[in-house]
């Protein structure tokens, strides 16, 4: 009988483990209003929305529009995303 190999950790799992380790070292709570989970969720959502806007408009933020679309980024405003933990 051969021993089963432990599956290799994914890059995402490795990154998450490192974030949790650093949060604990800094005394940061993992959950709660100022916790790591809330900060990480905010960062992931903002990044995804910015990337989606870049793809939709066809140019980076502060870049020149390409083609004849004339679509530009015309500013931002603060938004509140409600989650079950809010």
Each residue's pLDDT expressed in tens, for the chain with a length of 86 residues: 566 767 788 999 999 999 999 999 999 999 998 899 999 999 999 999 989 988 888 777 767 666 665 666 666 778 787 877 65
- Domain with 54, as residue range(s), is 31-59
User: Please, where are the H alpha helices in the chain?
Assistant: 11-25, 36-57
pTM exceeds 0.75 for this model: no
51 in a structural domain: yes
Report the number of distinct structural domains present in the chain.
1
81 in a structural domain: no
Collapse the DSSP code of 73 into the 3-class scheme (helix H, G, I; strand E, B; otherwise coil) and give the result.
coil
66 in a structural domain: no
14 in a structural domain: no
55 in a structural domain: yes
39 in a structural domain: yes
73 in a structural domain: no
């Amino acid at each position: 009988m051969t021993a089963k190999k432990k599956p290799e950790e994914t890059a995402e799992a490795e990154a998450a483990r490192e974030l949790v380790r650093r949060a604990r070292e800094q005394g940061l709570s993992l959950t709660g209003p100022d916790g790591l989970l809330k900060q990480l969720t905010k960062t992931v959502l903002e990044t995804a929305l910015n990337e989606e806007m870049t793809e939709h408009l066809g140019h980076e933020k502060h870049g020149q529009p390409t083609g004849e679309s004339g679509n530009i980024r015309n500013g931002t405003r603060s938004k509140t995303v409600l989650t079950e933990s809010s």
